[in-house]
Structure 1
Amino acid sequence: MNASLQTTSAEAHVELAVEIFSMLADATRVRILLALRGGELAVGELSEAVGKTAPAVSQHLAKLRLARMVVARHEGTRVFYRRSDDHALQLVLDAMHQAGHSLGLAVAHAEERANG
């Protein structure tokens, strides 16, 4: 691959990364991803977990689905959502970890916990 194509590919990845961060720059969407740590949940359950109305949660879920961060499963009239993979959640957890550092909290790193 020549340098021009590598630059174009790198720029495309940067732009997509920015879109992902933009998608995660919403407290409700972050709370939804955190709520889905334990497995799939229906919209009503997510609504209770994040403290928002079901229609508001549905709007956020639609955006997360378009970004391929969550997937839906239909069972009768109910729709259950789960994370499509662990990557977006890991970004959220890393951001929360960084927030702890920013607040001056003593935050143990995963490698420190594994070796400690």
Structure 2
Amino acid sequence: MAAAGGGADDPSADVVERAAVTFQLLGTPARLRILWALAQGESDVSGLARRVGGALPAISQHLTKLKLAGLVRARREGRRQVYYVDDPDVVDVVRLLLGRLARRTPPAGRG
């Protein structure tokens, strides 16, 4: 194990801070579901609300935060906004975590 002193391969304080902000942003089940759904394919707000189960205003607010963080983007198609993932690396991290948790034994309180 590396010493706790700040080795050459340690990420900078700025990188650690940005990672913490991203993890904090993804710290809600609704945002994880939205990101997961968008990783499967583009969608508008109505489609996301149906898929992840949420009210349109709440889904829209979550999308705004994900957009500001640079995790998703939107493009206009006629009168609607179509959202898609803008940071595939974050999707990889989410897939890894959710996949590992899904393969584990039953969640706490169920077994």
TM-score, normalised with respect to structure 1: 0.76
Per the TM alignment, residue 104 of structure 1 is displaced from its structure 2 partner at its CA by: 2.8
Query: C-alpha offsets along residues 15-61 of structure 1, whole Å, 9 cap, x if unaligned?
Result: 11100110111111110111112321011000101100111000000
Secondary structure, counterpart of 2:54 in structure 1: coil
Per the TM alignment, residue 94 of structure 1 is displaced from its structure 2 partner at its CA by: 1.5
Greater helix percent: which structure? 1
| Letter of the 2:44 counterpart | A
Q: Mind listing any 5+ residue stretches in structure 1 that lack a counterpart? A: 1-5, 106-116
Question: Counterpart in 1 of 2:30?
Answer: 28
Question: Counterpart in 2 of 1:76?
Answer: 78
Question: Counterpart in 1 of 2:43?
Answer: 41
Secondary structure, counterpart of 1:68 in structure 2: coil
| Letter of the 2:88 counterpart | D
1:55 aligns with 2:36: no
Secondary structure, counterpart of 1:41 in structure 2: coil
Secondary structure, counterpart of 2:21 in structure 1: helix
Task: Give the superposed CA RMSD.
Answer: 2.1
Question: Counterpart in 2 of 1:90?
Answer: 92
Q: Matched residue pairs, number?
A: 99
Q: Distance in 1 between matches of 2:98 and 2:77?
A: 33
Q: Distance in 2 between matches of 1:100 and 1:83?
A: 22
Q: Distance in 2 between matches of 1:18 and 1:53?
A: 28
**4+ long deviations beyond 2 Å:** none
Question: Counterpart in 2 of 1:19?
Answer: 21
Question: Counterpart in 2 of 1:104?
Answer: 105
TM-score, normalised with respect to structure 2: 0.79
